[in-house]
Structure 1
Amino acid sequence: MSKEIWKPGNMLYPLPVVMVSMRDKKGSPNIITVAWTGTVSTNPAMVYISVRPERYSYSIIKEAGEFAINLTTRELARATDFCGVKSGGSVDKFEALGLHACNGIHVKAPLIEESPINIECRTKQIIPCGSHDMFLAEVLAVHADNKYMDSKGKFDLSKAEPIVYSHGDYYTLGTKLGKFGYSVKKK
């Protein structure tokens, strides 16, 4: 076996890439792209996002204590990248990208209407982790766009064409290989 040895780093790729939306104390909306996010617990439903403290959005999320995670798609790929490289301190990203903000049920943070899934979150704890701080959050509500539901009322991920992030690049997800338990299912 021939493998290179690298310095310690994060090689858990691909990662989900999401747009996190929030509202500052003046009522102005903002969006930041986050690739360090994931599930923490099912019951209670909890997620996390990790954000660098020097990012413009960091203090807004910290002060508001809430945010929305918006899943990204092939259609939202350009907006996803834009929201990761442009600062909300200098541009209204909703306006610049032609995105539409809609209201959540439990949070003041705007939801991105064009996203197939919006997750309303309330911060429970902020954990300093080095270069990033982790916002551990309780999920208050999930909004799923009806156009991505199949005939059985299940969210059809393939219809949404979600994107992922891998080492500086964006990719769409490919072909379904199986479902949970398929490896041991009796034929």
Structure 2
Amino acid sequence: MGVKVDVMDDFYKLLHPCMTILVVSISRDGKPNVMTCAWNMPVSEDPPMIAVALGEESYTSQLIKESGEFTVNIPDERLLKAVWLCGTRSGRRADKFKLAGLTPAPAKKVKPPIISECAAHLECKLHDRVEAGECVVFIGEVLEAYCSKEVFEKGVWNVEKIGLPLHLGGRLFAVPTRVIKP
């Protein structure tokens, strides 16, 4: 595959693109906060669990530690400006829901809300957390998972009907448009 070059400064970007999600947490006084996250993955089917890696010092990390709950919301490409805003501002000083034009809606089993405009939602109870450098990996047990039936068919995303933003790094995103098989 040609000449290899040193990319140690950007090593993690070799693992991109990554699914871009919006993580919602809630303060003790009931104020929701939303943060963009591209470092996420499923970690168990039984019991259902996912992991999200967030900055240790982030407001979202603080709120998840306090409340023990969070929601994961899957946006489509129409929400890309909101996705960018929610990943570049702190909720300590701003209402990112209001700034991004997002609508919080009640979740079914946890206190943090879901985001109405998103295509899918996972409601999570904190199972564990692991410190990893400047990040904390939150492992959440998925209590509920639901999505728009028009875009998720037979257990997979229909990429012809929804543009899922995948983070490449910095301000760059990609949107898959076709399905292939080996």
Common fold: TM-score over 0.5: yes
Give how far 1:153 is off.
8.7
Match in the other structure for 1:163: 165
Give how far 1:19 is off.
0.6
1:112 and 2:110 equivalent? Answer: no
Cα deviation, 1:80-125, whole Å, max 9, x if unaligned, reads: 0000001111211111222111111110011001000010011100
Q: How does 1:22-101 map to 2 (within 5 A)?
A: 22-101=25-104
The one-letter amino acid paired with 2:8 is K
Of 138, 148, 151 in structure 2, the residue corresponding to residue 148 of structure 1 is: 151
Q: SS state of the match for residue 5, structure 1? A: coil
Give how far 1:154 is off.
6.6
Give how far 1:2 is off.
1.1
Cα deviation, 1:35-79, whole Å, max 9, x if unaligned, reads: 110110111111000111111211001111110011121111110
Q: SS state of the match for residue 4, structure 1? A: coil
- Provide closer, same or farther for how the CA distance between residues 13 and 105 of structure 1 changes in structure 2, counting only shifts above 3 A: same
Larger Rg belongs to: 1
- Provide closer, same or farther for how the CA distance between residues 103 and 14 of structure 1 changes in structure 2, counting only shifts above 3 A: same
Match in the other structure for 1:136: 139
Question: Which 10-residue stretch deviates more, 157-166 or 76-85?
Answer: 157-166
Cα deviation, 1:5-46, whole Å, max 9, x if unaligned, reads: 232731201111111011110100110001110110111111
Q: Runs of 5+ in structure 1 lacking a partner?
A: none
When the two structures are aligned, how many residues end up with a matched partner? 178
Q: SS state of the match for residue 76, structure 1? A: helix
Q: For residues 119 and 3 of structure 2, what CA distance do their matches in structure 1 show?
A: 42
TM-score, structure 1 normalization: 0.88
> Is the Cα contact below 8 Å between 1:23 and 1:60 reproduced in 2?
yes
Identity %, equivalent residues: 28
> Is the Cα contact below 8 Å between 2:125 and 2:140 reproduced in 1?
yes
Give how far 1:135 is off.
0.2
> Is the Cα contact below 8 Å between 1:70 and 1:119 reproduced in 2?
yes
Match in the other structure for 2:124: 121
Q: For residues 109 and 166 of structure 2, what CA distance do their matches in structure 1 show?
A: 27
> Is the Cα contact below 8 Å between 1:144 and 1:155 reproduced in 2?
no
- Provide closer, same or farther for how the CA distance between residues 122 and 158 of structure 1 changes in structure 2, counting only shifts above 3 A: farther
Q: Runs of 5+ in structure 2 lacking a partner?
A: none
The one-letter amino acid paired with 1:4 is V
Q: For residues 158 and 98 of structure 2, what CA distance do their matches in structure 1 show?
A: 29
Q: For residues 152 and 169 of structure 2, what CA distance do their matches in structure 1 show?
A: 31
- Provide closer, same or farther for how the CA distance between residues 126 and 153 of structure 1 changes in structure 2, counting only shifts above 3 A: closer
Q: SS state of the match for residue 161, structure 2? A: helix
> Is the Cα contact below 8 Å between 2:82 and 2:101 reproduced in 1?
no
> Is the Cα contact below 8 Å between 2:126 and 2:138 reproduced in 1?
yes
